[in-house]
């Protein structure tokens, strides 16, 4: 809470001419991230699933920052068709894309499947973002220097010893909902590694991060699953959480700090506030990362074909 800040809003450079997409930017950490990018003159897309919430966020950001180049992009990660459409809608605007922040997420929700029949946390937090990013990649590549920031979380360590048990992802009772969240957050880091590897000779800086334990709406899922117990725990822990403003700093660092390019930071995992942290061996496992890449590609091909 009182940790020294390696990066603050004042350190965000002028972003005039830069185009950014922030997923899940209508509330929480994503909202603050989009707002601070806009304050520094970036052209920002608030990519979010609910039109009213997205448009209201756009209105508030414009009002607060005076930057009119803030737009709503409809993106519902629960539907691969919608994800594809959202990415294509952005591409149709013929704009460059310098910063993609894959921030949207759900945590510890009760068991449910996405529109495509994929377990929801894995589907929303990982698979949807994988497809969104892949469709946008040519534009990101044409806009270098550019950055991709995948918002993971410290909970990535709570998963099974094998990391990702592919045969259990869609099995209802195979894992607890917190384990399913952990697997999806590990996937965010492994996806960053695979992407970074594919672009190691390009000026595309791909990194992931843990934003801190932040006061946002993320505990909605936990409360739905665990009811009153979770509500009490959340009330108690509220005091120990950092603000959404502080929570946004680490992704803003990865998305905008000149240090990323100066120090050639790729495949890094940042923690508050813009510090590099060592990850577990599983999160650095290249073989697992490649297996995940192939698994996700095949899954998406299969779902979009049907």
Ligand X SMILES: NC(=O)c1ccc[n+]([C@@H]2O[C@H](COP(=O)([O-])OP(=O)(O)OC[C@H]3O[C@@H](n4cnc5c(N)ncnc54)[C@H](OP(=O)(O)O)[C@@H]3O)[C@@H](O)[C@H]2O)c1
Residue positions annotated with a catalytic role? 181, 185
Name the residue whose CB lies closest to ligand X: 28
Find the shortest distance in angstroms from Cβ 36 to ligand X: 14
Residues 209-248 vs ligand X: string with x where CB under 6 A? -xx-xx-xxx------------------------------
Binding residue for ligand X, selected from 22, 38, 61, 107, defined by CB under 6 A: 107
Is 78 a residue that touches ligand X (CB under 6 A)?
yes
* 110 secondary structure, DSSP code: P
Binding residue for ligand X, selected from 75, 101, 292, 299, defined by CB under 6 A: 75
50 versus 264: smaller Cβ distance to ligand X? 50
| Three-state DSSP state, 213 | coil
Find the shortest distance in angstroms from Cβ 197 to ligand X: 22
What is the Rg, in whole angstroms, of the alpha carbon atoms belonging to the chain? 18
Is 20 a residue that touches ligand X (CB under 6 A)?
no
Is 105 a residue that touches ligand X (CB under 6 A)?
yes
Work out whether the CA dihedral 128, 133, 138, 139 comes out positive or negative: positive
19 versus 29: smaller Cβ distance to ligand X? 29
76 versus 285: smaller Cβ distance to ligand X? 76
Residues 288 and 192 sit within 8 Å (Cβ to Cβ): no
Q: Given the DSSP bridges, would you call strands 269-271 and 204-209 parallel, antiparallel or unpaired?
A: parallel
Find the shortest distance in angstroms from Cβ 153 to ligand X: 3
Which residues are 46's β-sheet partners? 22, 72
Task: Determine the distance from the C-alpha atom of residue 246 to the mean position of all C-alpha atoms in its chain, rounded to a whole number.
Answer: 16
**In the structure encoding, which two tokens stand for residue 218, read together?**
């993320």
Place of tokens 């384990």: 179
Only segment of 14-22, 49-57, 171-179, 276-284 that touches ligand X (CB under 6 A): 49-57
**In the structure encoding, which two tokens stand for residue 4, read together?**
């020294």
185 versus 267: smaller Cβ distance to ligand X? 185
* Euclidean distance between CA atoms 21 and 135, whole angstroms: 13
Find the shortest distance in angstroms from Cβ 292 to ligand X: 17
Task: Determine the distance from the C-alpha atom of residue 277 to the mean position of all C-alpha atoms in its chain, rounded to a whole number.
Answer: 18
Q: How many CB atoms lie within 10 A of CB 128?
A: 27
Find the shortest distance in angstroms from Cβ 212 to ligand X: 6
Is 150 a residue that touches ligand X (CB under 6 A)?
no
Is 119 a residue that touches ligand X (CB under 6 A)?
no
38 versus 151: smaller Cβ distance to ligand X? 151
Q: How many C-alpha atoms does 131 have within 13 Å on its Cβ side?
A: 30
Terminal-to-terminal C-alpha distance of the chain: 48
Binding residue for ligand X, selected from 22, 26, 34, 177, defined by CB under 6 A: 26
Q: How many CB atoms lie within 10 A of CB 297?
A: 13
Residue 199, C-beta contacts closer than 8 angstroms, at least 6 positions apart: 141, 206
Is 22 a residue that touches ligand X (CB under 6 A)?
no
Is 76 a residue that touches ligand X (CB under 6 A)?
yes
Is 157 a residue that touches ligand X (CB under 6 A)?
no
Chain residues binding ligand X by CB under 6 A are: 23-24, 26-30, 48-50, 53, 75-78, 103-107, 124, 151, 153, 210-211, 213-214, 216-218
């Amino acid at each position: 809470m009182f940790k020294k800040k390696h990066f603050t809003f004042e350190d965000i450079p002028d972003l005039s001419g830069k185009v950014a997409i922030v997923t899940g930017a209508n509330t929480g950490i994503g909202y603050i991230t989009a707002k601070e990018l806009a304050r520094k003159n970036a052209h920002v897309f608030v990519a979010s699933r609910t039109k009213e919430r997205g448009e209201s966020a756009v209105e508030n950001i414009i009002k607060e920052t005076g930057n009119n180049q803030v737009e709503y992009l409809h993106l519902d990660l629960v539907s691969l068709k919608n994800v594809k459409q959202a990415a294509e809608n952005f591409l149709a605007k013929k704009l460059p894309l310098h910063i993609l922040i894959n921030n949207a997420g759900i945590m510890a929700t009760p068991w449910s499947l996405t529109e495509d029949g994929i377990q929801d946390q894995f589907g929303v937090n990982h698979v949807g973002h994988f497809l969104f990013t892949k469709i946008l990649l040519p534009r990101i590549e044409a806009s270098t220097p550019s950055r991709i920031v995948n918002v993971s979380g410290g909970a990535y360590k709570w998963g099974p010893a094998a990391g990702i048990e592919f045969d259990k992802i869609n099995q209802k009772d195979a894992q607890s909902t917190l384990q399913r969240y952990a697997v999806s957050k590990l996937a965010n880091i492994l996806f960053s590694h695979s992407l970074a590897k594919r672009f190691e000779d390009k000026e595309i800086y791909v990194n992931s991060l843990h934003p801190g334990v932040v006061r946002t709406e993320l505990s909605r899922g936990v409360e739905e699953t665990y009811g009153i117990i979770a509500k009490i725990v959340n009330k108690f822990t509220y005091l120990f959480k950092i603000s959404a403003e502080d929570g946004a700093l680490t992704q803003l660092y990865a998305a905008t700090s000149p240090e990323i390019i100066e120090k050639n930071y790729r495949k890094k995992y940042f923690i508050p506030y813009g510090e590099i942290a060592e990850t577990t061996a599983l999160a650095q496992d290249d073989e697992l990362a490649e297996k995940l890449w192939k698994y996700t590609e095949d899954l998406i091909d299969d779902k979009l074909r049907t």
